[in-house]
């Protein structure tokens, strides 16, 4: 490893007792929405939102994330999310 590179540690997220089944679709969606709400309310770079981001990036298929990101951009996401601080009047 060259100087200046950080060693990457991979680990899975801990189980969530609210989602005991193998199908983690709801868990994935909830984590994505929680991250979006957190980053909109506290700012994109807030460290408190990192756990939600790590969670949805771990359990959600990349295609779903891309589709949801596009839906948010297009204004067609199925849930209403809080407005970012810079979008107010």
Q: Is 8 left (phi over 0), alpha (psi -120 to 50) or beta?
A: beta
- The pLDDT score that the predictor gives to residue 38 is 93
**Tens digit of each residue's pLDDT (9 = 90 or more) over 12-63:** 777 777 767 667 888 899 999 999 999 999 888 888 899 999 999 999 999 9
Max mean pLDDT range (5-9, 67-71, 78-82): 67-71
CATH 2.40.50.100 fits 25-77, yes or no: no
Distance CA 19, CA 25 (A): 9
- The pLDDT score that the predictor gives to residue 54 is 92
Name the pTM for this structure. 0.73
């Amino acid at each position: 490893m060259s100087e200046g590179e950080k060693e990457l540690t991979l680990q899975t997220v801990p189980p969530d007792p609210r989602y005991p089944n193998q199908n983690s679709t709801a868990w994935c969606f909830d984590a994505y929405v929680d991250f979006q709400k957190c980053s909109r309310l506290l700012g994109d770079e807030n460290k408190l939102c990192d756990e939600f981001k790590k969670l949805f990036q771990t359990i959600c298929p990349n295609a779903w994330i891309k589709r949801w990101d596009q839906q948010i951009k297009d204004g067609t996401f199925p849930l209403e999310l809080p407005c970012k601080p810079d979008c107010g009047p």
